[in-house]
Amino acid sequence: MAAHLFFVTGTDTGVGKTVFTALMTAHLREHGIRAVALKPVSSGSRRDGRILRKAAGQVLPLEEVNPWHFRAPLAPREAARRERQRVRLCQALAHIRRVAERFEVVLVEGAGGLLSPLGEDFDSRDLIVALRARTFVVCPNRLGAVNQTLLVFEALPRAAAARASVVLVSPRRPDLASRTNPKLLAERLGPGRIWIMPWLAPKKLTA
């Protein structure tokens, strides 16, 4: 497998995983790196897959960016069962590895949070471990972010946690908590592992 693998998870659903993954993918491609982003499993809307596909210059069809999509807005395992379907860890891994053979960097976005059930026998943590992926933990930068982020780090195996970074998504208006969270997190996790994502107007993201 040739590609560097990054996995994007978050402290909750709807925290900015897709935005960060899309920005990273576009940034790497602007610098001439053959990067692509995948959302292997999704449920409810298929918007994430479309955004990631666009961020990578549409080099892959949606069916490869997001091979498993289920209609119910539930954890993917349950959404799949409602369509009498099953996704297994070995299938998801095989797909990601096949794509990774053709690119320099592959960013994989989970669905929901670290332990949200993605398929019959796996969640995002299982993918991170099996892929030995570098992990980004996306969290809204607000009061409570330190605890939420550290809980995710606690849930990661030690080797994965040691290579993981935090992405704090800036609020529209910074407050005392958002200004001091990066320092508190750096004290616990070490320097150089806290990334700050600026606040972006929602309309700019979908334009």
Active site residues per annotation:
39
* 24 within 8 A of 153, measured Cβ to Cβ: no
Sign of CA dihedral 146, 127, 60, 75: negative
Conformation bin of residue 16: beta by default, left when phi > 0, alpha when psi is -120 to 50: left
CA–CA gap between residue 111 and residue 141 (Å, rounded): 20
Per-residue x/- mask for Mg ion, residues 45 to 74, rule CB under 5 A?
---x--------------------------
* CB atoms closer than 10 angstroms to residue 123: 23
Residue 18 binding Mg ion, by CB under 5 A: yes
Residue 17 binding Mg ion, by CB under 5 A: yes
If binding means CB under 5 A, how many residues of this protein chain bind Mg ion? Answer: 3
Give whichever of 51 and 189 is closer to Mg ion, judged by the CB atom.
51
Task: Provide the minimum distance between the beta carbon of 17 and Mg ion in the complex, in angstroms, as a whole number.
Answer: 4
Instruction: Determine the residue with CB nearest Mg ion.
Output: 18
Give whichever of 48 and 123 is closer to Mg ion, judged by the CB atom.
48
Binding site for Mg ion (CB under 5 A): 17-18, 48
